[in-house]
Amino acid sequence: MSYDPDNIFAKILGGEIPCHKVYEDDDTLVFMDIMPRIDGHVLVIPKTPCRNMLDASADQLAAVMATVQKVSQAMMAAYGADGITLQQFNEPAGGQEVYHLHFHILPRREGDKIRPPGQMADHADLAAEADKIRAALA
Ligand code: 5GP
């Protein structure tokens, strides 16, 4: 399996498709998932191409995980969360739908429920969630 440079996250990185950006550094980008499973659901991606965890370099994985931790810590404060759920899928059989490496971060509170997949969020709501996480990162 090779990297498809026309995948949707490559288009977000290239500025062809908008996103609600939460954070970026030299190596990684964080933005709101357009179909959030819970309020605050973000995606962390490397800025350089790789299809998923299986073909990622050690440097790409290290950069992405450092950002996952940084944003997760900010989310614990921003959402008064009790925990964090990470999700990461590889290839169709593993549940992957977009073929550019990404980690899902979901802030969790005791007893909350994850929404079913496929529910598009309102853009104003996503913008508000992005503002909230950015404020906690500042
Ligand atoms: P996975 O590949 O991990 O199964 O899922 C891909 C994730 O990307 C899904 O949670 C989906 O909601 C999200 N997604 C798909 N297309 C877009 C998009 O155009 N923008 C954003 N922000 N998220 C997307």
Domain locations along the chain = 8-137
| pLDDT at 80 (0 to 100) | 97
Q: Is the CB of 95 under 6 A from ligand 1?
A: yes
Other beta carbons within 10 angstroms of residue 54's beta carbon come to 12
| pLDDT at 70 (0 to 100) | 98
| pLDDT at 1 (0 to 100) | 84
Mutate to test the pocket of ligand 1, among 97, 99, 106, 122 (most ligand atoms within 8 A of CB): 97
Kindly list the strands in the beta sheet with 21-24, ordered across the sheet, starting from the edge strand earlier in the chain.
21-24, 28-32, 42-46, 103-108, 83-87
Choose among 115, 113, 109: nearest CA to 37.
Answer: 115
Q: Are 96 and 89 in contact (CB under 8 A)?
A: yes
* Nearest-CA residue for atom 19 of ligand 1: 8
- Catalytic residue positions, numbered: 102
CATH class of 8-137: alpha beta
Q: Is the CB of 129 under 6 A from ligand 1?
A: no
| pLDDT at 125 (0 to 100) | 98
* Nearest-CA residue for atom 12 of ligand 1: 35
| pLDDT at 117 (0 to 100) | 94
Listed as ranges, residues in the chain with pLDDT below 50 are: none
Distance 33 CA to ligand 1 centre (A): 6
| pLDDT at 15 (0 to 100) | 97
Q: How far apart are CA 18 and CA 8, in angstroms?
A: 10
